[in-house]
Structure 1
């Protein structure tokens, strides 16, 4: 169980490590499909097991599972809810471009500075949502169609750039943008955010592929596990509605704040 597997594309992980990563991928897919934040589970699990011996292998391989998981969540949402593709697609395209740009600049910014900015932003997002219990329970459009699409595209580019640059909290920022700025209900915001997440994950993956750090065998196994969790999570979100998604959103934001706060504390 603890002997390293010599399977090609698995980065010398052991059978025990592989089983652990599969369980983490299922849970991550379910959480990510509801409101985002699956990276809180899947990325640390990969870094703990350490396939390939370098952190970049874990980060790059994670994107395979994330692309498949978010894409399956989109399919589930599209079958069971009304998707506004006319606004979601421009947002996804701009987010894709932003993610590629962010990945290209990933080494230009001090991680500690970025984590501090994100930590403050997440605390603000969490407090704002908590203090407004009716936020995102029902649709409250704030702008005309043209302005709405423009804001979504601009926000998608900014969040996509951040996702390529770092990543933690991307799903939470997308959902808050759609709920707090555009006026979506939480369920619709989560569904739209999954479309955008597919684009950002794909953009980052396309950047990582030429580096040779993607472990395809391990990534495809985790993708299947992530997919099964994502389908379950999306169906649960549709069945329970916006109030449930709001509670999960606040839980994920708190977990992100604790995670980033811990990183800042230990340097």
Structure 2
């Protein structure tokens, strides 16, 4: 189990650090940091895709934990909703990973792109969406819906991965009626659980490059701390703007993947 630093230049490490900082910031505000961090990892000479994915998760869990603590202290998310959703999401990510070994991600990507386009149009059309919390369900129905969200998106995280935090916020804002700020706070807890669940698989199999993962983790922590503090201080309107930018990036990334899959 190597450190991942053998034969890696200082320039490559600097790129990884910068990617980790930016990814931590984006992830803390609205999710989707993996769109920045994972491609940067794949640029490292000699690293396999599974090592890149595993080490990316190792770095991400530091940043997600940092932003989760910051949100918890300043936003005080309702743990009666967040914790069961997180537990279900972690378990579902195992299922997604298992299915990923049987079915190609390309089967699901066109559906996800179509859903993202609908979400983007809806968000832009409803300017007040996500600016304030106005729950649509209550009691058992609310908690059941939250766990359902955790199951579906946790499964997605194990199957495909990029944009998991954004999808959690989409669901919490669009389906349950949380503000972007409240939704982000709960999404961080669930995303932390899915990262942890993935590492339970990657660490014993020796796919994590520890030296590189710890450098990435420290950068992620700094980015996550800055991003979560900015999101809390600037509020839901700021998070909404970043959310729209990240959803557009997700559509571009996954849409490109779909086109490439069709042309092969």
- Relative to the length of structure 1, the TM-score reads 0.94
Shift of the 138–96 alpha-carbon distance from structure 1 to 2, 3 Å rule, reads same
1:189 equivalent among 183, 198, 202: 183
The equivalent of 1:166 in structure 2 is 160
Q: How does 1:23-102 map to 2 (within 5 A)?
A: 23-50=18-45, 52-102=46-96
Q: Secondary structure at the match of 1:167?
A: coil
Q: How does 1:83-122 map to 2 (within 5 A)?
A: 83-122=77-116
The equivalent of 2:151 in structure 1 is 157
Q: What is the alpha-carbon distance in structure 2 between the residues aligned to residue 81 and residue 56 of structure 1?
A: 35
Q: What is the alpha-carbon distance in structure 2 between the residues aligned to residue 11 and residue 102 of structure 1?
A: 32
Q: How does 1:131-150 map to 2 (within 5 A)?
A: 131-150=125-144
Q: What is the alpha-carbon distance in structure 2 between the residues aligned to residue 75 and residue 189 of structure 1?
A: 15
1:10 has 2:10 as partner: no
Contact 1:11/1:215 (<8 A) preserved: no
- Relative to the length of structure 2, the TM-score reads 0.95
Q: CA deviation at 1:66?
A: 0.9
Q: What is the alpha-carbon distance in structure 2 between the residues aligned to residue 149 and residue 70 of structure 1?
A: 23
Q: Deviations over 1:69-124 (max 9, x none)?
A: 10100111111112211110000000000011111221211222222121111111
Q: What is the alpha-carbon distance in structure 1 between the residues aligned to residue 211 and residue 258 of structure 2?
A: 34
Q: What is the alpha-carbon distance in structure 1 between the residues aligned to residue 50 and residue 244 of structure 2?
A: 29
1:21 has 2:21 as partner: no
Q: How does 1:213-224 map to 2 (within 5 A)?
A: 213-224=207-218
Q: May I ask how many residue pairs the two structures share in their alignment?
A: 260
Q: What is the alpha-carbon distance in structure 2 between the residues aligned to residue 240 and residue 140 of structure 1?
A: 20
Contact 1:11/1:53 (<8 A) preserved: no
Q: Deviations over 1:107-162 (max 9, x none)?
A: 21122222212111111111111111111111111111221111101110110011
The equivalent of 2:229 in structure 1 is 235
Q: CA deviation at 1:11?
A: 5.3
Structure 2 runs not aligned, ≥5 long? none
Q: What is the alpha-carbon distance in structure 2 between the residues aligned to residue 93 and residue 190 of structure 1?
A: 17
Q: What is the alpha-carbon distance in structure 1 between the residues aligned to residue 120 and residue 158 of structure 2?
A: 23
Q: Secondary structure at the match of 1:223?
A: helix
Structure 1 runs not aligned, ≥5 long? 1-6
1:209 equivalent among 168, 178, 203: 203
Deviation >6 Å, runs of 4+: none
Q: Deviations over 1:146-198 (max 9, x none)?
A: 21111101110110011011112211210011111111000000010000000
Q: What is the alpha-carbon distance in structure 1 between the residues aligned to residue 245 and residue 184 of structure 2?
A: 15
Superposed CA RMSD in Å reads: 1.3
